[in-house]
Amino acid sequence: MTETWLVVGLGNPGTQYSNNRHNVGQMVLDELASRIGGGFKTHKARAQVLEGRLGIGGPKIVLAKPMCYMNVSGGPVSALTKFFGIEADHVIAVHDEIDIPFNTVKLKIGGGEGGHNGLRDISKALATKDYLRVRVGVGRPPGRMDTADFVLRDFATAEKKELPFLLDEAADAVEMLVSSGLLAAQQKFHPAKN
- Known catalytic residues are 22
| Calculated CA dihedral for residues 139, 114, 187, 176, nearest 10 degrees | -90
What pairing do the DSSP bridges indicate for beta strands 132-137 and 105-109? antiparallel
Q: If you ran DSSP here, which 8-state letter would residue 71 be given?
A: G
- Please, which residues have CB within 8 angstroms of residue 118's CB and are 6 or more apart in sequence? 10, 70, 71, 73, 93, 95
Spatial contact of 76 and 45, defined as CB atoms under 8 Å apart: yes
What is the rounded end-to-end Cα distance, in angstroms, of the chain?
43
How far apart CA 68 and CA 45 sit, in angstroms, is 10
